[in-house]
Structure 1
């Protein structure tokens, strides 16, 4: 392993050497602090400074430079978004104190339903297949139904395009990283023509367990393989159909840490996990009339989770809890231009069916079978509308509303009676954008939202050693009232954005104690209050040079118990310096940091703060009519030992990865 001094010298050599080479060239080029554009919040393109409510974007370059091309690490660059923990594969994120079933997860706008007690959903797609990710922070959009009280994550994949002349494009990339040691590979090829385009892509990842400092985090290894085909056909100049089919399979995915209720030698592993997504979208864009676009969408998603717990407790040799999550969904959505009103409205529906089974293998050779969660179906039907109303040159009003009907049916098991529930839900918001001066804008939004308890909230029956976590069929929906104010400034070389938010959640759903100290049950606990502030800045202060920073402060409290909420990230931020040159050289140094978290509920341990030093450098060049790219990324150069307060490792204290070097070579045409 490198010494601290060696890593610092390597970092300095990379940055200074590449910067000096770039300065030797005459053409410095020009770069601008562009205002990020998002589509997910309103259904139409809108810049961050013109969108009431918190939004964020990360692109494919940031994803590629994140540790192990990690989606969660890339998203944590957005202020207010923090990675949680567990396995490096499929890590989840926390959005302003909300996570799991309070955050809707989408791939190309298609809802992915699965259990969230042990992270997985962000592992259902290879990170190299992603074009960008858009994040909605809070219940600020009517386009999404139950579960969006905490926000929405929409992963947008790479696609082809229509071309007036036939053309071929492709890319190949390979990465080796030292911690966790292993390789990533990815390939993509697409053919574009005037009336159709077709794309094939695939990737593999294979990594060993990682080191936190000098300590090996046992059972944190993972491997997976993904294949995808997608394409589109233009029937006429106004009618287009797009399709995709994606399959991913993971094997021997370790969940480090086990459980405090289990012996230390009881590892939890996904021996196999599979995910598939098939979708079909048809879009009509008439050239005349008020209707600008009509979209009809259908999709099918299947997620299989196979879990193995070895040596849980005598006389059990192993336990294999398994579940499959099948979702069928679709929507019809129109976009209209009615004078100064830009209206998006539609109807969507999705049906989630979950079945589970569990086997216990005893040391005497017997096998016990049971069903921890009843086979259950959840059906959601929703009507929604978003209206962007341009009042004048300075003022824009955004209004949104949604009405949902959620039905749930479960079969009978020894733990649960056969039952059915029906819930009506609604949400609404009003947002305002004021361009009060040149380059300045203010945004404000007030929103109300809800979350109907899902299948896992109502019917889970998870036994981890001596502890059991049970669902509650009688849970009431969560209700949320949300406020946010934003102030934005954007010129050609400087972008500043700040926000203040407040989220009051009533009938907050969490795990509660029962008369049996070894049994916990989901329950409504009254009111939770979450509020905070976020800042983001990017400044191009000299040709090729930029500096950037983020800051996020969040506070959450259980108002009934007068104590801190469990899943609140500490004060955290990022400070970075980057150099880019038109000749293809670039380099950057960053210091992500987090303060200690001492504001914790009773029974939870505090966590110390940390500051890391990361660096990256690369060179993009053309050779033999191909575009080449080589990069070196150095994360945690000082090999700092630290813990993530939000790591949901079932009570274990896991260290985050220590020093890691990753080398990537990519070629495209």
Structure 2
């Protein structure tokens, strides 16, 4: 009987306890309509808190009647607080929809130190641009999108095929290292032919480091690096972004993000771009813009593992068919000397991944492999090349007291073969033999971030690499951060860089154009020493307005610098190590203003002084300015949102100072320096929540093109034509007369002693004003 009483006693106690257990608050946290994990959720004035799970859910139980204030926050997003009234024992739902911060100061960055860290905490200055920033001026590729970043200039190197590279602080494209998810798979051939194949739709954010970063990333990170962080897969979501222009350009981005059971999430992206109109507004007989047909397929897998260990694998395939040339050209003339055309077929595939080892220590193995096949023809000159790059890196992240250590070992293998003199050798017998380049470069690096005090930290790093062709390379690094206050941060960085050069994969002019390439000596690796001072000021103005300033001053000294010499002989491009030194120095200022009334402004300006000094025949150093280097530039993006109409307005633009250009002879009548020029755009976006956006506007409002700044030739054949292409009417130089010394002799038909040259006078776009209209849909 006692057992029966005890049974009913505990049963009643259980019911009573359940009745008094209280209410439950639960909900999901969204970002752009998709669940967001890793968001901190707290109940104010209590110790109750938690983090949203992989599908954005949170819940709190056992709450008594009353009013509660829930606060949610995550780095890079605007924090929110909501009040909720609890009156009974029921479950109450409270969802949140977060927005990204526009100032970018609290973004999580990885590029500066290879670790995820708040941008304000890292000793290395990193600029962050999220995909919202690039949506202010929608473009089909990352190459075009970077025109909005201060200190960064996409440089078009060819007026016919429109290939290009990316300049940072006045340094040429080969000095810029481009990473995808932290891995160096964009290099060599892809820096010339593959940059346009990176669709904007893949980008979660872009991190930019200005100045050498070779102590962490090795060769090519001399002028700076750009790290493209791809989007992470979330819950099931279908997205589409399609736009077209009045020139006949069409771009489509499709994305599908979905969960594969409980073990993985996958993001699939498809990009297609097509432009098939032969437009010749300057009437020089050549296409103003290269015709293109491009497809890119991307897929990224994130696997769910125990203890939230990381494992992601991504792959991408790119195919592009582009051509430019005389408007009467078609593929039947490919490689012939009848009608001039530059036709480029690019096939590229790549795979990359990051795997956290199943050990107690924090260790990661990163890997990538890419295969690039290039089939190009410039008139009747063929350029056939293959490149394969394999990369593996093991890192160990360890916290010991005040020391935050990162140690690593890396191995990079590069294979390159083409049909030029770059991969041929002459045997003793006189026979010319093909000899592909095979470079193996193992390396080790160590980094220690030391917390000196609550407001002071010091980062010391060094890297050692062994290049199978150039031997030992050592690159040290130092960074110091002083958090003066919560709103003032000062950083000082110093480091070294090195660069191993392959002209035929980095310099488009070496494979096309009328000039003969001459390499005077065995080129030694370039070396550089850099000092950078960075200051951030964060201001919280009245009425919730935010104003942030970031300024930098830098100085870089180069030895063994390799530059193309266009001045010594107008018939040649001469490459050699500079018998002297090079310097780039300057200051930059970025400002971000976000106002409560919906007005946002991002603006920046950079002044730079880039020059080289080389010894002349008398042994004296002579100072000269390299070509295609501006002294100053500025960018801006002004946005305003009219809430009542759900309408956003974006006005974006850039302006560049004069650049020195490569002339073809002493008689060349074209200006030696480019004018001040600017590209400006306006966009209107109507949105219906996060599921639908319709956008449109006008690009290149000023209708600026290179052709408008080139004077019309007054004499000889082609008189009256304003074209950046010298002697566009004679692309095979059939009417050019050469002397015994190989130099051009002025004639009545060619009074300026010019030859056909599609590259030398290329410094900006030749695509004029155009309208655009697009739609974004998320399901």
For the criterion TM > 0.5, the same-fold answer is: yes
After TM superposition, list the pairs within 5 Å mapping 1:113-512 onto structure 2: 114-115=187-188, 119-140=192-213, 142-161=215-234, 167-179=235-247, 181-192=248-259, 194-208=262-276, 217-218=287-288, 220-254=290-324, 266-270=340-344, 272-284=345-357, 291=361, 293-310=362-379, 318-357=380-419, 374-407=435-468, 421-454=469-502, 456=504, 462=510, 464=512, 467-471=515-519, 474-492=522-540, 493-512=546-565
| 1:39 and 2:39 are equivalent in the alignment | no
Deviation at 1:528, TM superposition (A): 0.4
Question: Retained in 1: the 8 A contact 2:149–2:635?
Answer: no
SS of equivalent residue, structure 2 residue 454: coil
Q: Which of 692, 700, 705 lines up with 1:636 in the alignment?
A: 700
| Alpha-carbon separation, structure 1, partners of 2:190 and 2:118 | 34
Q: 1:241 to 1:371 in 2, by over 3 A?
A: farther
Q: 31-40 vs 197-206, which deviates more?
A: 31-40
Deviation at 1:33, TM superposition (A): 3.0
| Alpha-carbon separation, structure 1, partners of 2:370 and 2:216 | 20
Question: Retained in 2: the 8 A contact 1:613–1:638?
Answer: yes
SS of equivalent residue, structure 1 residue 486: strand
Deviation at 1:351, TM superposition (A): 0.7
| Alpha-carbon separation, structure 2, partners of 1:169 and 1:632 | 24
1:105 is matched with which residue? 178
| Alpha-carbon separation, structure 2, partners of 1:627 and 1:652 | 45
Question: Retained in 2: the 8 A contact 1:169–1:189?
Answer: yes
Q: Which of 536, 543, 547 lines up with 2:601 in the alignment?
A: 547
| 1:650 and 2:759 are equivalent in the alignment | yes
Paired residues, number: 594
Cα deviation 1:223-247 (Å, max 9, x = unaligned): 1011122212234225443212211
1:367 is matched with which residue? none
Q: 1:541 to 1:128 in 2, by over 3 A?
A: closer
Q: 1:110 to 1:76 in 2, by over 3 A?
A: same
| Alpha-carbon separation, structure 2, partners of 1:650 and 1:459 | 11
| Alpha-carbon separation, structure 1, partners of 2:520 and 2:507 | 6
Question: Retained in 2: the 8 A contact 1:159–1:199?
Answer: yes
| 1:617 and 2:684 are equivalent in the alignment | yes
Q: 1:478 to 1:34 in 2, by over 3 A?
A: closer
| 1:78 and 2:149 are equivalent in the alignment | yes
Cα deviation 1:180-215 (Å, max 9, x = unaligned): x22111211121254211222211000145869766
Deviation at 1:151, TM superposition (A): 1.4
Cα deviation 1:415-449 (Å, max 9, x = unaligned): xxxxxx33211111111111113401111111122
Cα deviation 1:14-44 (Å, max 9, x = unaligned): xxxxxxxxxxxxxxx9976341442111112
Cα deviation 1:79-132 (Å, max 9, x = unaligned): 211110146866421011223332222222222355459821312322222222
Q: Which runs of 5+ in 2 are unaligned?
A: 1-98, 330-335, 422-430, 541-545, 615-621, 711-723, 726-756
| Alpha-carbon separation, structure 1, partners of 2:500 and 2:476 | 16
| Alpha-carbon separation, structure 2, partners of 1:442 and 1:213 | 50
Q: 1:466 to 1:627 in 2, by over 3 A?
A: closer
**Cα RMSD over matched residues?**
3.6
| Alpha-carbon separation, structure 2, partners of 1:437 and 1:248 | 47
SS of equivalent residue, structure 2 residue 523: coil
SS of equivalent residue, structure 1 residue 391: strand
SS of equivalent residue, structure 1 residue 396: strand
Question: Retained in 1: the 8 A contact 2:213–2:225?
Answer: no
Question: Retained in 2: the 8 A contact 1:372–1:460?
Answer: no
| Alpha-carbon separation, structure 1, partners of 2:320 and 2:432 | 24
Q: 1:324 to 1:524 in 2, by over 3 A?
A: same
After TM superposition, list the pairs within 5 Å mapping 1:535-574 onto structure 2: 535-560=589-614, 561-574=622-635
Q: Which runs of 5+ in 1 are unaligned?
A: 1-28, 162-166, 311-317, 360-369, 408-420
Pick the structure with greater CA Rg.
2
Deviation at 1:569, TM superposition (A): 2.3
Question: Retained in 1: the 8 A contact 2:179–2:186?
Answer: no
2:777 is matched with which residue? 667
Structure that is richer in strand per residue: 1
Q: 1:210 to 1:491 in 2, by over 3 A?
A: farther
| Alpha-carbon separation, structure 2, partners of 1:218 and 1:338 | 59
1:412 is matched with which residue? none
Cα deviation 1:294-314 (Å, max 9, x = unaligned): 11122210111111123xxxx
Deviation at 1:385, TM superposition (A): 2.1
Deviation at 1:352, TM superposition (A): 0.8
SS of equivalent residue, structure 1 residue 142: helix
Deviation at 1:327, TM superposition (A): 1.0
Deviation at 1:71, TM superposition (A): 1.6
| Alpha-carbon separation, structure 2, partners of 1:481 and 1:340 | 28
| Alpha-carbon separation, structure 1, partners of 2:120 and 2:178 | 24
Cα deviation 1:463-505 (Å, max 9, x = unaligned): 6565321446622221111011111111341110011101110
Q: 1:91 to 1:511 in 2, by over 3 A?
A: closer
| Alpha-carbon separation, structure 2, partners of 1:128 and 1:424 | 40
SS of equivalent residue, structure 2 residue 144: helix
**TM-score where L is the length of structure 2:** 0.69
| Alpha-carbon separation, structure 2, partners of 1:666 and 1:610 | 32
| Alpha-carbon separation, structure 2, partners of 1:83 and 1:490 | 29
Q: 461-470 vs 225-234, which deviates more?
A: 461-470
Deviation at 1:349, TM superposition (A): 1.0
Deviation at 1:353, TM superposition (A): 0.5
SS of equivalent residue, structure 1 residue 63: helix
Q: 1:612 to 1:227 in 2, by over 3 A?
A: closer
Q: Which has the higher contact order (CA 8 A, sep 6+)?
A: 1
Deviation at 1:514, TM superposition (A): 11
Cα deviation 1:568-607 (Å, max 9, x = unaligned): 2231112342113667431122342223346999978201
Question: Retained in 2: the 8 A contact 1:458–1:473?
Answer: no
